[in-house]
Amino acid sequence: MSALLELAGVTRAFGGLRAVADVNLSVAKGEVVGLIGPNGAGKTTLVNVITGVHPATAGSVRFAGEDITRLRPFEAARRGIARTFQIVQPFPEMTVLENVAAAAVFAGGARYGRPALDEAMAQLEFVGLADAAGKRAASLTLAMRKRLEFAKGLAMRPRLLLLDEVNAGLNASEVEQAMGLIRAIAARGVTVLLIEHLMKVVLNLCTRIVVLHHGELIAQGTPQSIVENPRVVEAYLGRRYAASQGAVHG
């Protein structure tokens, strides 16, 4: 598989703090990659660099062969990079349908009016929110707002979808539903990079896992290799979790 996303020596500093430090990473078309690490490891900052929110201090970001290191967020979005946010903040007074239509117009290339609304409704049907299309976004439950984030991202017609803690705050049943939705998105051919703390989700969805610690990429590999990696166990998983997965003996 050819690389869709390539990071080479990516660093992002805030004053004297290097939140991301010399990260090299390649994501192939069609992959579902998990990005894990302790709080403050630099995961969201890395996503912000990829999407142009915080330009890299050093290094380069390439997407589909194009250098996008200095692109602004809307420019990255229009090239096929969509993201969700850990703290969900839809336009509260707009309807669910209008929220998704806005994404379709400003990043997905849909024409304003009926084409954008049709695209928005198609994505709401896909994520299971069609019945809520006319409701104000502020009236949605947390689980529904998370689904709205999925719909907005998909309305941007992404080639790469970056998911930041989409399961945070959900109960077990809602997490299962979200996992099913991510599988369905991947089945559409969308490449997924998933920031996630729930290891159940990462181990079930991802073919490869990348681990950040203090801004540095300390490991990457298959789920099994990651839970067996001593550096990852020490920095993030803990011996008790690793032992429960059969990765630590004695």
The pLDDT tens digits for 83-118 are 998 888 899 999 999 999 999 998 767 777 888 999
pLDDT band for 248, please (50, 70, 90 cuts). Answer: very low
Mean pLDDT, range 42-61, rounded to an integer: 96
What's the CA gap between 250 and 232, in Å, rounded?
Answer: 18
- What are the pLDDT digits (tens) for 201-217? 999 999 999 999 999 99
- What are the pLDDT digits (tens) for 62-80? 999 999 999 999 999 999 9
Question: Tell me, what's the pLDDT at 2?
Answer: 79
Are 110 and 104 in contact, with CB atoms under 8 Å apart? Answer: yes
- With pLDDT > 90 as the criterion, what percentage of the chain qualifies? 84
Helix (H) or strand (E) holding 60: strand 58-63
Terminal Cα distance for the chain, rounded: 39
Are 52 and 68 in contact, with CB atoms under 8 Å apart? Answer: yes
Q: Which of 224, 187, 248 is nearest to 34 (CA)?
A: 224
Provide the β-strand partners of residue 12: 20
Question: Which structural domains are found in the chain, ordered by start?
Answer: 28-54+71-80+158-250 (3.40.50.300), 87-157 (no CATH)
5 phi/psi in degrees, rounded to 5: -120, 130
Specify the DSSP class assigned to residue 207.
S
Task: Evaluate if residue 174 carries a pLDDT over 70.
Answer: yes
Report helix, strand or coil for 181: helix
Question: Tell me, what's the pLDDT at 87?
Answer: 84
Angle, CA of 102, 106 and 110, to the nearest 5°: 85
CA torsion, ordered 45, 141, 32, 98, to nearest 10 deg: -80
Q: From the CB of residue 182, how many other CB atoms can be counted at a distance below 10 Å?
A: 24
Question: Tell me, what's the pLDDT at 247?
Answer: 52
